[in-house]
């Protein structure tokens, strides 16, 4: 059994671990839409529906008084265009709020290229930070974020919410138990068909767009979670008219002779499923693989479906992890450690280098 799977996950995310979703479907994923300040929650309405009551409640439950939400994309927020929002981001999170002694922590869901400057600025202001994935556009940038947090003595975590969901906790428990033997292969893909829109953030190179960083991070982090450090990458990809990757596939070789096969896309629909194969069985993760309702374990004992459903959209589980860590004085999560975030960024660097994806300023 890989040593990194022996991390203690039992104490993580205590809220409703066996709760049921009201509609029986995977949650709609928007980047967080609430601002919680001193006991009040202010809503930035998205273009489509989504229940964020559990997210806001989780923010307010314990030590986090203020989490900042910024609208980030024209087509997600019809009342505020992207250019207007980016010009006004100082108004939302700058100066006064970061200097406010009542603000303990800041959530950074900005466009990808703004994760680094605002995370560093928050850390240097003495605020704990939960930063959306992808952590940064490169491993060098990720290292700067981590250095700033450690130098300032504040908490920092990449918001890969999948890791804190009930189905993912069950997944790690099953692999750790040895029910499928030694895991040797992870296969996962995440992609959808979106019409080309040069103004949408996913198609904008200057905003760190593309399928790899926004979607590919989910299959890659799953492979890292279950198989450990990634030692080598072989990748191919298709860059579109705007310069971002529209399709990408990679084979990841992990330490110990195991493999991950991952795919991501903006212009073609994929199964959005995953499979973990071991020496004595396998685990199937249904769509959507980054927020599944269940997993199916196939072993010598037969086939077992393990329920992983929950109420709401599931974003509260990563917030609970922030609360848990702050409550015991931790400055990083053992479920989503900072060194792994840097390592994931290095893997993304290697894939980008092989497919020719270069961001402005590099």
Q: pLDDT tens, 227-276?
A: 999 999 999 999 999 999 999 999 999 999 999 999 999 999 999 999 99
pLDDT at 12 over 50: no
Cα dihedral across residues 12, 17, 22, 23: positive or negative: positive
Q: What would the mean pLDDT of 26-43 be, rounded to a whole number?
A: 29
Look over the chain and give the mean of its residue pLDDT values, rounded to a whole number: 80
- pLDDT digit string, tens, across residues 157-210: 999 999 999 999 999 999 999 999 999 999 999 999 999 999 999 999 999 999
Report whether pLDDT(39) > 60.
no
> How much of the chain exceeds pLDDT 70, in percent?
73
For 13-161+314-337, CATH gives 3.40.50
Average pLDDT over residues 47-62: 42
- Rounded distance, CA 134 to CA 111, Å? 10
- Fold of the domain built from segment(s) 163-310+345-355: Dihydrodipicolinate Reductase; domain 2 (3.30.360)
Residues of the chain with CATH 3.30.360.10: 163-310+345-355
Query: What is the structure's pLDDT at 24?
Result: 33
What tens digit of pLDDT does each residue of 341-361 get?
Answer: 999 999 999 999 999 999 999
CA-CA distance, 252 to 261, in Å (whole number)?
Answer: 6
Range(s) within the chain of domains with CATH label 3.40.50? 13-161+314-337
Burial of residue 27 (CB within 10 Å: 0-12, 13-18, 19+) is buried
d(CA 145, CA 210) in angstroms, rounded, equals: 22
Q: Is the pLDDT of residue 22 over 70?
A: no
Task: Give the pLDDT band (50/70/90) at residue 85.
Answer: very low
Cis status of the peptide bond prior to 14, with omega within 30 of 0: no
- Per-residue pLDDT, averaged over 204-218, amounts to 97
pLDDT score at 58? 55
What local confidence, expressed as pLDDT, does residue 96 receive?
A: 63
Q: Is the pLDDT of residue 70 over 70?
A: no
What residues are annotated to the active site? 133
Task: Express each pLDDT in 289-303 by its tens digit.
Answer: 999 999 999 999 999
- Is residue 326 scored above 50 in pLDDT? yes
- pTM of the predicted structure, to 2 decimals: 0.80
């Amino acid at each position: 059994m890989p040593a990194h799977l022996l991390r203690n996950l039992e104490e993580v995310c205590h809220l409703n671990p066996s709760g049921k979703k009201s509609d029986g479907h995977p949650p709609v994923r928007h980047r967080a839409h609430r601002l919680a300040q001193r006991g009040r929650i202010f809503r930035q309405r998205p273009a489509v529906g989504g229940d964020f009551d559990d997210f806001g409640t989780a923010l307010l439950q314990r030590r986090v008084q203020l989490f900042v939400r910024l609208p980030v994309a024209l087509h997600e927020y019809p009342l505020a265009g992207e250019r207007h929002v980016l010009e006004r981001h100082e108004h939302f999170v700058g100066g006064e709020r970061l200097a406010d002694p009542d603000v303990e922590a800041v959530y950074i869901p900005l466009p990808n290229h703004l994760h680094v400057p605002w995370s560093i600025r928050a850390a240097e202001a003495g605020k704990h930070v939960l930063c959306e994935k992808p952590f940064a556009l490169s491993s060098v940038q990720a290292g700067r974020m981590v250095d700033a947090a450690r130098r300032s003595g504040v908490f920092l975590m990449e918001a890969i919410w999948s890791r804190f969901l009930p189905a993912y906790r069950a997944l790690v428990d099953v692999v750790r138990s040895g029910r499928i033997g030694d895991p040797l292969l992870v296969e996962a893909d995440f992609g959808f068909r979106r019409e080309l829109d040069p103004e949408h953030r996913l198609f904008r190179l200057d905003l760190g767009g593309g399928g790899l960083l926004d979607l590919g991070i989910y299959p890659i982090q799953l492979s890292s979670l279950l198989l450990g450090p990634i030692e080598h990458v072989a990748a191919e990809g298709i860059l579109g008219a705007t310069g971002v990757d529209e399709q990408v596939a990679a084979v990841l070789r992990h330490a110990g002779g195991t493999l991950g096969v991952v795919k991501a896309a903006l212009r073609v629909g994929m199964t959005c499923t995953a499979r973990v194969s071991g020496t004595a069985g396998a685990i199937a993760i249904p769509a959507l693989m980054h927020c599944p309702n269940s997993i199916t374990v196939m072993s010598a004992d037969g086939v077992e479906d393990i329920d992983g459903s929950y109420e709401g959209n599931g974003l509260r589980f990563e917030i609970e992890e922030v609360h848990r860590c702050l409550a015991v004085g931790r400055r990083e999560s053992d479920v989503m450690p900072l060194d792994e975030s840097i390592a994931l960024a290095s893997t993304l660097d290697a894939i980008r280098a092989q497919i020719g994806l270069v961001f402005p300023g590099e």
